[in-house]
Chains A and B, each alone.
Chain A
Amino acid sequence: MKVSPAPFLFRGGIHPPDSKTATAALPLKDLPLPARLEVSTSQHLGAPAAPCVAVGDRVTAGQLIAKASGFISANVHAPAAGTIAAIREAPTPTGRTATAIIIETDADAPAGEPPYKPIPDWREQAPRSLLDRVAEAGIVGMGGAGFPTHVKLSPPGDKPIDTLILNGAECEPFLNSDNRLLIERAEQVWEGCQIIRRILGAGTIRVAIEDNKREAAKALAAAMESAPDDAHIHLLKTLYPQGSEKQQIYSVTGRTVPMGGLPMDVGCVVENVATAYAVWDAVVNGRPLTARAITVTGDAVNTPTNWFAPVGTSFADLVAASGGARDNLAKLIAGGPMMGFALPSLEVAMSKTSSGLLLFPRECVRPYRSMACINCGRCVEACPLGLMPNELSQAAEADDIDEAENRHVMDCFECGACAYVCPARRPLVQHMRRAKAVITQRRRAAAQQKKT
């Protein structure tokens, strides 16, 4: 049997209620094409893409509209045919602003040819050409951070990769986009995963799925039956943050990524299931990454839905399609509730990394007063990295950034486990983030000074 429990378990972690039932059984629905799409040039980590169309241009579905600029960057394509209405600054779902290309869509446009040549016989093609396709198609890590996939898939020669981990943990509460993708499109995900392995030349494939998503695991196992392989599905104990790269690598392989290192340092690459699906679509169908699954849920939306929606759809359109928001809407979150970003308004467009949109009612956003740390140690128990959030946050609060740096605040990936359990309701993640921002700024300044 290919399905078995994960052999290891990382230290720390928390058990938030998974709150997934509202949308777990709802099939992905294709969103009717919105009249307007706001496609950001910065949907990935690294340099924003450079727009290569002008206002007034007509574009076809899948046409390249912004080119990757620099090594860590990704192409951006038009999700639908239409006319470029404007190119201007717009807010991103991660709380920043970036140049966005606004497309007035043309619903009557014929479907047309896929923009890239399909490669159904990818098993016979050189890994290099497949990698180029991934780069062309503008594929990024769709689990959250949005790291350009083609960069991740071309590790330096001295870092041999022997394990590819397909991340289907989806440990964030509320979200079901990856879960539904696995249930409904398991074969495509599986094929995408094999394509990635061919690019990497990796030995084994390990699939990591939390044990509360047995249906997804079953669907994938069925898909894997038809494609015999030495791959293996590991059911992870439901524990947040199993979906985090380093924790997952440990749970699945028992290897520990060195502090400050990358998964490739221990011979692993972790790819999200949505990314695998996008790779399949790009290679087999020749279609760039322009649409993704997104869960719209929460107690302040009328009809929670799992959408398959074009990138650039404004959250206002998504919410409207989901039956609209209720009057008691008080918080709007792009992403999951643990690591997602609260948005100031619905006038923000979804990106390649938007896996969910949560609408929380006023009852869930009670104002509270954070207190002094009472030293209970729950955050220390919860931290999957073994950091001490209590002391780090106090150092940051006292502006003792050096102390925070010496105590490895930079390793914090802001999973939020500490703040979730804190009985004093301290904004621990915000303290960490601020300390990290200060340190990054200092390091940048120091590097600049070195140069001059």
Chain B
Amino acid sequence: MITSILVVSGIGLVCGVALALGARYLSVEENPLIGTVTELLLGANCGACGYAGCGGYAQAIVAGEAPPNRCPSCTPEALAQISAALGIAPIEAAAREVALVLCRGDDEQAQKRFVYDGITACAAAAAVGGGDKACRYGCLGYGTCLRACPAGAIEMVNGVARVHPELCISCRKCVAACPRGIIRMVPAASHTHIFCSSRDPGATVRKVCKVGCIGCRICTRLAEGAITMDGTLAVVDYKQPLDNEELPAKCPGKCILKV
């Protein structure tokens, strides 16, 4: 019994000494805080923060390059813990945002200029003759965002992408993936949106799509400042409250919807 204990502890001791020496002469400096923060960040590695994985984001947080509230999956408690670990004042969690496809010009509503023949991906399709949709700003419907979405929150409805807000994890991958740039992050609390991104003049829009903004400005008057004009396109200013129930019915372009 004693021998066995002695032998095992002997081996352990020798190994321990060897390792201690190793640690002494081969060690590499690393901030322990990075490990702590990485653990608190849940490890979804979704990339929504803009860094390569949670580890990269943790490094940036510890280095003071990024605020800790960029992680959409982070709970308020975890956020508080991170702030505490860093020894800084607690930071408010950002309001939840969801992605929204600003186009409803599906196969029935919008014209196509030609029959596209090639890879089923939006960027590829957009590079062929400018895309088959007659509208230069319309959703091409070849599903690039759908494949980019890690949460499976995007569905193709009749040739137009639609985000299911309840499933969206705010990672912005679809925003980056859309070659037309018509996916926008909007507050999850807002429900009235203008589903059009066309900057073409109203006459052109009318020619190619039945549900496009024609720049008539009716909504800007009804919304009292919550909708502004960007050229010929009406844009919702989500900082302002927008609770006019009449808007969808009053839009001659039929592109304002409450969802």
Contact = CB atoms under 8 A, between A and B. Distances in A.
Q: Do any beta carbons of A and B sit within 8 angstroms of each other in the complex?
A: yes
Nearest to B147: A399
Contacts of A367: 117
20 contacts: A95-B128, A95-B130, A97-B130, A341-B129, A342-B128, A343-B129, A344-B114, A345-B113, A397-B119, A427-B118, A427-B119, A430-B118, A430-B119, A430-B128, A431-B124, A433-B127, A434-B119, A434-B121, A434-B123, A434-B124
Given A430-B128, A434-B121, A437-B127, 11 more contacts: A95-B128, A95-B130, A96-B130, A342-B129, A344-B113, A344-B129, A344-B132, A345-B113, A367-B117, A430-B124, A434-B124
Interface string B51-83: 000000000000000000000000000000000
Given A344-B114, A345-B113, A430-B124, A95 B119 contact: no
A237 B54 CA distance: 58
B129 A431 contact: no
Chief secondary structure at chain B's binding surface: loop
**What is the interface of chain A mostly: helix, strand, loop, or mixed?**
mixed
Nearest to B125: A430
A433 B113 CA distance: 22
A-B CB proximity, top 5 nearest? A344-B114, A95-B129, A344-B113, A344-B129, A434-B124
Contacts of B124: 430-431, 434
Interface string A92-129: 00011100000000000000000000000000000000
Name, among A341, A345, A397, A430, the residue most crowded by chain B CB atoms within 10 Å (CB to CB): A430
Interface of B: 113-114, 117-119, 121, 123-124, 127-130, 132
B85 to A, nearest CB: 32
Interface string A315-349: 00000000000000000000000000111110000
Contacts of A95: 128-130
A427 B119 CA distance: 7
Contacts of B129: 95, 341-344
Contacts of A397: 119
Interface in A259-308: none
Contacts of A97: 130
Nearest to B177: A399
A344 B128 CA distance: 10
Interface in A395-409: 397
A342 B123 CA distance: 17
A96 B129 CA distance: 7
A367 B118 CA distance: 10
